[in-house]
Chain A
Amino acid sequence: MSILKLHYEIDGEDFTRAGEASASVKKRLRQLGVKPDATRKVSIALYEGEINMVIHAHGGDIDVEISPEAVRMVLADRGPGIENIDQAMKEGWSTAPDEVRSLGFGAGMGLPNMKKNSDEMQIETVLGKGTTVTMAVYL
């Protein structure tokens, strides 16, 4: 298996389509014969990140690199940024409005769940400029 690079543009205005990129990556991993465990971890981590880009940051870009060693994901948005990363990483912390909660999200579980499902995770954020979340799941 050589290195496979995938790129997705995430539409921040379309909640219905959120998750399409993650679904597409999941399908590729299956086709490549990646173990179900690792595939599940990537799917959950990426999907949570993709949803965050849509509900908190008006969309952005996702780049995924699949190598024999790892799946590396970079989620870059041009949203409002995160004021306090430590706080955002806490289970239950959410700034999501009721409208998001009525859609089934906004429990403050996404970032901790991304951390739990990835082997490496890093958040770079600048207020008013955007957020880049980088994750890796080892294969």
Chain B
Amino acid sequence: MTVNDIKNILDCELISGEGYLQQEVLTACGSDMMSDVLAYVKDQSILLTGLVNCQVIRTAEMMDMICVVFVRGKKPDEDMIQLAESRGIALMSTSHRMFTACGLLWENGLRGGNSLS
């Protein structure tokens, strides 16, 4: 599955990162707690979240993620967009809620991958 597939499945608005649409996504994770993402996530390449602040982008950066999807129609601000652009992270927004967004991706074959024990 590519970032572009995720965009289509979740009917996302692409906010930034046009150039990363063809990148491969192997696994995903969803969380509003960055603490948990940092502690439990391993090689997931996309983050679904309802949290909107710069630390979401930082967290994705530290975890080598390539894309952040904001659920419930949330939109990042200009600072976040700039930060994401400088770090090579695509940003998208979907109007679906977290549960539905994760369900749709799962239904289409995307999985959560392994977490650190």
Contacts and interface: CB of A to CB of B under 8 A. Distances in A.
A55 to B, nearest CB: 10
Contact-residue bracket for chain A = 20 to 34
Contact of A19 (B33, B39, B58): B58
B55 A51 contact: yes
Given A105-B35, A109-B36, A23 B61 contact: yes
Interface in A89-116: 91, 101, 103-110, 112-113, 116
Interface stretch (A39-47, A69-77, A124-132): A39-47
B58 to A, nearest CB: 4
Given A18-B55, A19-B55, A51-B55, A107 B61 contact: no
A108 B116 CA distance: 17
Interface residues of B, number: 22
Contacts of A110: 35, 38-39
What DSSP secondary structure best describes chain B's contact surface?
helix
11 contacts: A16-B54, A26-B61, A44-B63, A48-B38, A104-B55, A104-B59, A105-B33, A105-B35, A110-B39, A116-B39, A116-B116
Interface of A: 15-19, 22-23, 26, 36, 40, 43-44, 47-48, 51, 91, 101, 103-110, 112-113, 116
6 closest A-B pairs by beta carbon, nearest first, are: A107-B35, A19-B58, A104-B34, A109-B39, A43-B62, A109-B35
